Structure 1
Amino acid sequence: MLALDVRHLNKKYQNFQLRDVSFQLEQGYIMGFIGVNGAGKTTTIKSILNMIQMDSGEIHILGKNIAEHEMELKQEIGCAFGDVNFYTRSRIKTLTGITKKFYKNWNDDTYYKYLSRFKLDENKKIAELSTGMRVKYSLTLALSHGAKLLILDEPTSGLDPVSRDDLLDIFQELIVGGEISILFSTHITSDLERCADYITFIEQGQIVASAEKNELKESYRLISGSEADLSRVKDRLISYKTNSFGFTGLIHANDIDASVTLDAAIPSLDEIMIYFAKKEGVKEGVYV
């Protein structure tokens, strides 16, 4: 069964539009959701959670349509949107006491396990927590009610490297049984290089690719060569930049001409995002 099935999602605003967004997340895996600011990640996530009304499309979670089974399915979803910025004068234990009433499968043992693991003092007020500690508390709430699908928007933002490493360990522990799935939106692609099984890449409101992580990376090449080489491959490059040695550019692996000798390497997720973001701003081989 698919944990998440997004089908032909469309949503139009005055200056932005999601266009035919479709992707699937199988149960028991971690999917990284990447794209630059304004690419459509948060709008997609809010549509998945039925927080905004789609113009068209369908969202199925654990085999059921979210529009028809919203109350039931939200018992099965754990969400974390960065830090907690509401009821900031309340203590952690007060806010937890309110939150737990909404979930029939709330587990105090699980809650206190993560509270301890994240070194959170439930007597502290939200306003007294650092950004990183607020993120940890938000995740503690998301992990404490037996959710089968975790939807996390920038969950490692504001965390120090040690805390981020611990969090990634937790994500990998959670999926071991094959029942829990994670959709993980982040700008810190090094986290996804380590823990994600699949990557969905959105650019300007459209899905560029959604595939197994290594398969996606291997479908591109980062190539470099002289100025003379550039003239022979320029029309096939997604984008490129010039330097004192010649050029470096991103290309689809299938578009490489074997007759042209160039240095080629499999790009990182960061490099794929950067070159796609620059493709509309390339002029005479220089980023603008």
Structure 2
Amino acid sequence: MEAVVFKDVKKQFDGFELNIPKLSIKKGYITGFIGENGSGKTTTIKLMLDMLIPDTGEVLIDGMRVSENAKAIKEKIGYVGEPTGYPQESKLKNIKRMVKPFYKDWDEELFNSYMERFGLKEDKKYGDLSTGQKKQFALIVALAHKPELIILDEPTAGLDPVVRSEMIDLLMEHMQNEEVTIFYSTHITSDLEKAGDYLVYIRNGRIEMQAPKDELLNNYCIVKGPKHLFDKEIQKELLGYKQTSLGGEALVRSRALAKELFGNEVKYVVPTIEDVMVLLSSKRGE
């Protein structure tokens, strides 16, 4: 089943158009949303949150049109992004008191257990928290009302590896205890190596790839070799290609196809998510 569906969605701005004929986010999984700056990630999220209205098409969450069921849908969503909008001078207990009435399924016991886990005190002012603690608190608030869909927009940006790991661990444990879907937009692809189930890659407002993470990483192949091997005809078969100081580097749809194209003249490498994103971002033929 799908938690989120985009159908023939277009959104036009000056000099930019988001165009998503179809996008399905599987229920009960973590979907990583990747792409360079300006590719349309934030616009896509704003359409899901009813912060923007599509020019054409529709967005459905849990089978309901966002445009017609905004209030009911927002009760199902937990969101962590920047800025949080929380007042710097407010104590955490007052922020909780402000947010809690909007959610009928708020779980005070769950909130307290996560606060204790991260060592956060309700009497602390939000503005006195470190960057990592602010992100931790935002995540706790997002999880405490037991949302069915969690939307994360760069939730671990600027955080040290220890804090990032703690937040990812909490998300994964939360998923084991709750029926929840996570839509995770990030530049930090190592987070998705650890936690992602599906990947969606967006470029210039278009979805260029969506696939199970393991299938993609197991099937895709990176080849590295001398520049002369990557002629114009070969480049037509590549998903992405870039020149390096040592030669050429390309992303190929499968190892079998790579073997057919290059034989034993290149080095074969299993890609990471970052490799896939960088090479898909590289224009073919450059």
TM value normalised by structure 2: 0.91
Give the RMSD, CA atoms, in angstroms.
Answer: 2.0
Instruction: Report the Cα distance in structure 1 between the residues aligned to 2:152 and 2:89, rounded to whole angstroms.
Output: 24
1:250 matched to 2:251 = yes
Q: CA distance change for structure 1 residues 181 and 219 in 2, over 3 Å: closer, same or farther?
A: same
Q: Which residues in structure 2 correspond to 1:150-169 (within 5 Å)?
A: 150-169=150-169
- Counterpart code for 1:242: T
1:119 matched to 2:119 = yes
Partner of 2:80: 80
Q: Which residues in structure 2 correspond to 1:70-149 (within 5 Å)?
A: 70-82=70-82, 84-149=84-149
Partner of 1:279: 283
Ranges in structure 2 where 5+ consecutive residues have no aligned partner: none
Are 2:86 and 2:95, in contact at CA under 8 Å, matched by a contact in 1?
no
Instruction: Report the Cα distance in structure 2 between the residues aligned to 1:219 and 1:267, rounded to whole angstroms.
Output: 9
Instruction: Report the Cα distance in structure 2 between the residues aligned to 1:78 and 1:64, rounded to whole angstroms.
Output: 17
Partner of 1:56: 56
Q: CA distance change for structure 1 residues 83 and 133 in 2, over 3 Å: closer, same or farther?
A: farther
- Counterpart code for 2:208: V
TM value normalised by structure 1: 0.90
Post-superposition offset of 1:129: 1.2
Pick which of 155-164 and 200-209 moved more: 155-164
Instruction: Report the Cα distance in structure 1 between the residues aligned to 2:51 and 2:85, rounded to whole angstroms.
Output: 18
Instruction: Report the Cα distance in structure 2 between the residues aligned to 1:137 and 1:203, rounded to whole angstroms.
Output: 31
Q: CA distance change for structure 1 residues 116 and 269 in 2, over 3 Å: closer, same or farther?
A: same
Instruction: Report the Cα distance in structure 2 between the residues aligned to 1:149 and 1:4, rounded to whole angstroms.
Output: 9
Post-superposition offset of 1:185: 0.8
Partner of 2:175: 175
Pick which of 247-256 and 93-102 moved more: 247-256
Deviation sequence 1:84-117 (CA, Å, 0-9, x none): 3441111111111111111111111111111111
Instruction: Report the Cα distance in structure 2 between the residues aligned to 1:251 and 1:176, rounded to whole angstroms.
Output: 35
Aligned-residue sequence identity (percent) comes to 35
The number of residue pairs the alignment matches comes to 281
Instruction: Report the Cα distance in structure 1 between the residues aligned to 2:87 and 2:187, rounded to whole angstroms.
Output: 27
Pick which of 203-212 and 227-236 moved more: 227-236
Post-superposition offset of 1:219: 4.5
- Counterpart code for 2:215: E
Q: Which runs of 4+ in 1 moved over 4 A?
A: none
- Counterpart code for 1:57: G
- Counterpart code for 1:160: D
- Counterpart code for 2:243: K
Partner of 1:225: 225
- Counterpart code for 2:17: Q
